[in-house]
Amino acid sequence: MKRIGIIAKQNKPEAVTIAGQLVEWLRPRGIQVYIEEGIERAIPTNLTGPFLSGVKKEEIPSHVEMIIVLGGDGTLLSVARLVGSHEVPILGVNLGGLGFLTEITLEELYRVLERVIEGDFVADERVVLNAGVIRQGKRFAEFIVLNDAVINKGALARIIDIETTINGEYLTTFKSDGLIISTPTGSTAYNLSAGGPIVYPSLHCLIITPICSHTLTNRPIMIPDDVEVRAILKSKQQEVILTLDGQQGFVLEFGDVVEVKKAAGRILLIKSPYRHYFEVLREKLKWGER
C-alpha cells in the first residue's frame, strides 16, 4: 500500500495533532499521503514535502488505496458518503464517544497500520443505501447513506401518516412520530433507540422501524436488501423532515415519496484484529454490568 489518505475532525485539536504524528510515521515508509487542505496547513513545515499532498476532502478517495479517519462515528459517516463507488477501505480511529464504526483505538493504531500496509487485514463489507425523494412524479433529491434514512415529524407537529410499500406491495400506513429505514450498520444507531433489533453488520437486510407508533401492534420488520421501499407522506400541514445519517436534512411535503433501495457501491471498514463484533457490543452497550 503506497497511497494513504487522512481525514480528521478539524474542530478537534487532538485529531489534528494525531494527523501530524501519522504523517511523521508514514514518511520514512515511502508512502504518499493525501490530506485534506485544512489539516495540511496545521502540519509542521518540517514534515511537509513532495510525499504530502493537500487536496479537497471530496477528492481524496480517487487518489488513495486506503483512508484513515480520525474522529468519531459521525466523521466516518461523512467520509463513507464521499467514498461512494470507489470502494476504498476505511480505517476508523475512535477519538469520539461510542465508536461502533470507528473501532480502532488510538493505542492499537500503529500496530494495526503496520499490518494493513503489508496487506494483512480484513475489511467488513457494509450495505449502502440510495435514498431519493420523488415529488409530483419527478426525482427531486438523492442521497447516499450508510446508517439510515429517517422520516421525522417536527417538534410541534402531530402524529404523521406514512404509507409504506415494498416492491410495490402495500405493507401498512404507519401512524407514528416517524419512520426509520436502516441498514444493519445503522441498527445500533437511531434504530436501537427506537426499539429496533441489533443486526449483525454483514447480513443482507434492511430494517423498518416506526418511531413511537400510535398503533401498539406496529413493530420493526426486517426485509431483504434487494427490495425497493417506498414511504409516502400522507399528512398535510405538518412539518416533516427526511434526515440522512443524522447529518443531512430535507423538508418533505404532502405526497412526497421517499424511495430507499440498496446502492450500487459498498463501504469497506477495516476490522480490528484485536477484538470481534460481540466484544464491541459488550463494551459499548455495557452488557453484563450491574
Taking phi first (over 0 means left), then psi (-120 to 50 degrees means alpha), and beta for anything else, what does residue 174 get? beta
CA distance 130 to 283: 31
Task: Identify residue 91 by its one-letter amino acid code.
Answer: L
Return the residue matching grid coordinates 455495557.
286
Q: Is 226 a catalytic residue?
A: no
DSSP class per residue in 28-87: GGT-EEEEEHHHHTTS-GGG-STTEEEE-GGGGGGT-SEEEEEE-HHHHHHHHHHHGGG-
Adjacent-strand bridge partners of 139: 134
CA distance 244 to 251: 12
CA distance 184 to 188: 8
Q: Which of 73, 148, 177, 256 is catalytic?
A: 73
Among 142, 141, 161, smallest CA distance to 151 is for 161
What is the set of active-site residues?
73
